[in-house]
């Protein structure tokens, strides 16, 4: 009994490799990993003055220039869009190649461009 | 204290971490800021001890060694298990950061000492949240027992380094292009204008990932061969930023330009030998002939053995026969019983069959290999019917073939049309289905089998073919067979016949090549057009214009006279020219601006931090252990290259 308890203690402490230059230190339980979203919420709840710059107020503003349209496949300027797949294309050859494209690749092209269907 | 202690400078970037002493020329340690924990070795799992049955803890408790940075031998093998303390450019996972500090301090020779006795300069993100700095200070002071730390911003250190060798400049617009973010940083009167800094959340990471996606979609076959490491190499060595994106893009649209400038990247490829598929026709023929010879040999040998056996048997039977002829009946009966033969007639018939067999085999000469089937096939190839010239016949075949092809094509088109809703074909199909269903219903309502004559004519059944969405029916199979037949005949008689799907003469290795063309400019362009990866943020040029508009015209002018580029992504060829072009567009007519580049895009931040750490007033920039204890863990001292300190409001 005792020996198994001791060995389990051993595993606990050996999870962090012991190094001579370190002092025993453990982060507060909920501070070890906090994703950015939580940090953002924390700062929002602090009710900082409006003009106080924080990490989250420095985000770039949304673009005011209309996004240029490029072919999903070749990257060339694309005047056309296939109404069926919603892929953009620049010329007839690309359109032909799109007809044999598996749907997972089509969806990936769309998701890379950030297209989400309205449905 | 005596002479000031040397300072450990850590440029903790989200891509690469650089560590070194402030009095050296370059960092002693550079590593990718990642770690991985390999899965435990199966062997090391608890092995029951034979002596007392309890598991021996020695073997069981060896924890898997955590590998950090350069200790990772094959980064591609553990790509899925790579961990980084960073989320974007701020640190969110403190366990990982602790592992990385362990690695740094061990490599820098602190093993065996009681604590880290040297002051530290550490870079952090612009406007690093107080929560993150708090954790960092706690970790450094409590866990490692450091005496003092100075937090700074990498881009500003880099700017310091640039000025160190030249005359001091008070106003600048710093553009820092990092791995996960891109910053536009205005500096006025030597002071960071933190409230007007703007950050574009696009960086080298996005560029690499974008290229990875594009390549994987372009070559789905080589999905596994297109690795992040390879894409990183492509981005680092071959991508550049187009000065005029649209113009360069249109050039790629032209075939000649494409042929001339396309870069082909050979993926690792091992030629598969000795598989039948890759042999030439001649080799195949040779192989087949060898096989036939061997079979024939076996057959001949077997026949020879059989012959020998038969001859012996015949000899025995003939002896028996002689016994009978010599009237030694008793002996003869005995021998017959021994050979399990009934009577004389049976013996006679046996003798005759065996001798016949021997005769047959001996008459036949050792069979030679028959003419190969190939030959026969060619002989069997249909010839032009009599009375028709070969040319006419071939022309007729050709036209038949054309017809078949056309039929095939219409079928395919029909199928495609039917696949989409709201097309005429799809609606026609629905109409037929509904009429079919209706007529069936009517019959049932009547209660009696009212024959409407459906099926009397064979063509009636075609209606089912027409509503079949995938009409890969027997019809098209037959067509395909006929098509093949025609093509075979045509190619046999006409050398120049091109069946339209001739296999391109391409070596197998060429199938393992990636064409890297327009991606060269397309991928880094996301810095200027984040909309290409679906980000709504303003591109770099638009962002610069936005930041400049937050200042007065004079301030703007003062800043654009020193536009300074730094960070890993500033290494892209053409960036400076592109920005010059953009500035020309956005600045007033005939106004001046100038763009400077850092001396070493990746190292200048570290070097700048070293410069500051070596200056006599360095002590004032240090947040000491005393400060930490007095002012709390989020406090830090401001200096030229640091963030601004805004204490978290107390409730």
Instruction: Give pLDDT, residue B47.
Output: 45
Q: Where are the domains of chain A?
A: 69-118
Q: Nearest 10 degrees: CA dihedral of B173, B178, B180, B186?
A: -10
* Residue numbers in A near B201 (CB within 8 A): 59-60
Domain boundaries, chain B: 281-363, 381-433+461-506
Q: Is the pLDDT of residue B640 over 60?
A: yes
Q: Per residue in B575-610, pLDDT tens?
A: 999 999 999 999 999 999 999 999 999 999 999 999
Quote the pLDDT of residue B421: 67
CB–CB of B129 and A23 under 8 A? no
Whether B532 and A113 lie within 8 Å, measured CB to CB: yes
B395 falls in which pLDDT band (50, 70, 90)?
confident
Other CB atoms closer than 10 Å to residue B382's CB: what's the count?
12
Is A70's Cβ below 8 Å from some Cβ in B?
Answer: yes
Q: Higher confidence at residue B246 or residue B45?
A: B246
Q: Report d(CA B593, CA B561) in Å as an integer.
A: 4
Whether residue B157 is predicted with pLDDT greater than 70 in this model: the reply is yes
- C-alpha R_g of chain B: 43
pLDDT value at B306 more than 70: yes
Q: Does B223 touch chain A (CB under 8 A)?
A: no
CB nearest B127 (choices: A14, A20, A53): A53
Write the ipTM.
0.88
Chain A contact probe: residue of B186, B195, B210, B644 with most A CBs at under 10 A = B195
Strand B8-12 and strand B120-124: the pairing is: parallel
Instruction: Say if residue A105 is exposed, middle or buried (CB neighbours under 10 Å; 0-12, 13-18, 19+).
Output: middle
Predicted confidence (pLDDT) at residue B236 exceeds the cutoff of 90 = yes
Question: pLDDT averaged over chain B?
Answer: 84
Instruction: With cut-offs at 50, 70 and 90, classify the pLDDT of residue B459.
Output: confident
The continuous run of DSSP H or E covering A41 comes out as helix A36-45
What pLDDT score does B237 carry?
94
Chain B: give the shortest CA distance to residue A57, in Å. Answer: 8
Residue B320, SS3 per DSSP: helix
SS3 B576: helix
Query: How high is the pLDDT of residue B4?
Result: 64
Tokens in use for A110?
A: 């769309």
List chain A residues with pLDDT less than 50. Answer: 1-14
Q: Could you tell me which residues come within 8 angstroms of residue B603 by beta carbon, excluding any fewer than 6 positions away?
A: B18, B26, B27
How much is the average pLDDT of B92-115? Answer: 92
DSSP notation for B477-493:
HHHHHHHHHHHHHHHHH
- CA-angle at B277, arms to B276 and B280, nearest 5°: 80
Most A-contacting residue of B54, B130, B136 (CB-CB within 10 A), to test interface: B130
Residue to mutate among A1, A11, A14, A22, with most B CBs inside 10 A, is A22
Question: Whole-structure pTM over 0.80, yes or no?
Answer: no
């Amino acid at each position: 009994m005792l020996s198994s308890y001791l060995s389990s203690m051993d595993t606990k402490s050996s999870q962090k490799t012991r190094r001579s230059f370190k002092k025993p230190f453990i982060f507060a339980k909920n501070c070890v990993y906090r994703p950015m979203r939580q940090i953002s919420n924390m700062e929002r709840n602090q009710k900082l003055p409006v003009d106080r710059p924080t990490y989250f107020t420095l985000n770039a503003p949304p673009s005011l220039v209309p996004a240029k349209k490029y072919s999903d496949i070749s990257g060339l300027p694309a005047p056309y869009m296939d109404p069926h797949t919603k892929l953009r294309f620049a010329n007839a050859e690309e359109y032909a190649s799109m007809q044999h494209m598996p749907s997972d690749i089509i969806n990936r092209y769309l998701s890379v461009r950030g297209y989400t269907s309205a449905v | 204290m005596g002479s000031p202690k040397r300072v450990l400078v850590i440029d903790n970037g989200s891509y690469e971490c650089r560590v070194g002493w402030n009095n050296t020329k370059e960092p002693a340690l550079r590593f990718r800021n990642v770690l991985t924990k390999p899965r435990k070795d199966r062997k090391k799992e608890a092995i029951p001890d034979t002596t007392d049955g309890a598991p021996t803890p020695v073997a069981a408790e060896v924890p898997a060694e955590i590998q950090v940075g350069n200790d990772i031998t094959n980064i591609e093998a553990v790509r899925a298990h790579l961990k980084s303390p960073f989320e974007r450019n701020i640190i969110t996972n403190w366990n990982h950061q602790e592992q990385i500090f362990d690695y740094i301090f061990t490599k820098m020779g602190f093993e065996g000492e009681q604590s880290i006795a040297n002051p530290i300069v550490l870079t952090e993100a612009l406007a690093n949240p107080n929560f993150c700095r708090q954790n960092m200070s706690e970790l450094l002071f409590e866990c490692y027992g450091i005496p003092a730390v100075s937090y700074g911003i990498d881009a500003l250190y880099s700017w310091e380094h640039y000025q160190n060798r030249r005359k001091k400049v008070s106003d600048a617009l710093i553009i820092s292009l990092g791995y996960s973010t891109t910053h536009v940083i205005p500096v006025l009167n030597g002071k960071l204008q933190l409230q007007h800094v703007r950050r574009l959340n696009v960086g080298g990471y996005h560029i690499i990932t974008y290229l990875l996606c594009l390549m994987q979609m372009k070559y789905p076959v080589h999905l596994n061969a297109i690795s992040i490491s390879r894409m990183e190499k492509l981005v680092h060595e071959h991508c550049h930023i187009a000065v005029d994106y649209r113009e360069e893009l249109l050039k790629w649209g032209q075939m000649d330009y494409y042929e001339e400038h396309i870069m082909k990247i050979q993926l690792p490829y091992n030629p598969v030998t000795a598989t039948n598929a890759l042999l030439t026709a001649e080799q195949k023929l040779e192989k087949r002939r060898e096989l036939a010879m061997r079979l024939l040999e076996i057959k001949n040998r077997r026949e020879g053995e059989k012959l020998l056996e038969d001859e012996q048997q015949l000899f025995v039977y003939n002896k028996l026969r002689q016994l009978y002829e010599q009237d030694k009946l008793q002996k003869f009966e005995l021998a017959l019983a021994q050979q399990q033969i009934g009577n004389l007639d049976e013996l006679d018939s046996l003798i005759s069959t065996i001798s016949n067999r021997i005769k047959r085999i001996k008459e036949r000469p050792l069979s030679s290999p028959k003419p190969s089937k190939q030959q026969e096939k060619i002989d069997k190839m249909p010839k032009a019917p009599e009375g028709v010239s070969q040319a006419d016949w071939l022309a007729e075949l050709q036209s038949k073939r054309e017809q078949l092809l056309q039929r095939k094509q219409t079928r395919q088109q029909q199928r495609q049309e039917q696949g989409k809703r709201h097309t005429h074909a799809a609606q026609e199909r629905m109409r037929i289905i509904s009429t079919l269903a209706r007529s069936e219903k009517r019959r049932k309502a009547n209660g009696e089998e009212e024959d409407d004559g459906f099926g009397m004519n064979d063509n009636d059944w075609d209606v089912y073919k027409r509503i079949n969405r995938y009409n890969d029916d027997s019809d098209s199979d037959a067509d395909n067979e006929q098509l093949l037949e025609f093509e075979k005949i045509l190619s046999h008689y006409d050398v120049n016949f091109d069946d339209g799907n001739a296999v391109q003469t391409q070596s197998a290795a060429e199938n393992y090549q990636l064409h890297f063309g327009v991606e060269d400019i397309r991928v880094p362009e996301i810095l200027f057009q984040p909309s290409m990866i679906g980000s709504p943020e303003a591109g770099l040029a638009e962002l610069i214009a936005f930041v400049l508009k937050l200042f007065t015209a004079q301030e703007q002018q003062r800043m654009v006279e020193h536009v300074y580029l730094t960070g890993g992504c500033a290494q892209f060829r053409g960036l400076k020219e592109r920005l010059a072009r953009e500035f020309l567009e956005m600045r007033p007519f005939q106004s001046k601006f100038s763009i400077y580049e850092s001396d070493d895009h990746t190292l200048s931040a570290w070097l700048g931090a070293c410069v500051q750490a070596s200056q006599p007033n360095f002590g004032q920039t240090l947040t000491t252990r005393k400060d930490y204890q007095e002012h709390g863990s989020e406090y830090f001292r401001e200096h030229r290259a640091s963030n601004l300190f805004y204490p978290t409001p107390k409730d």
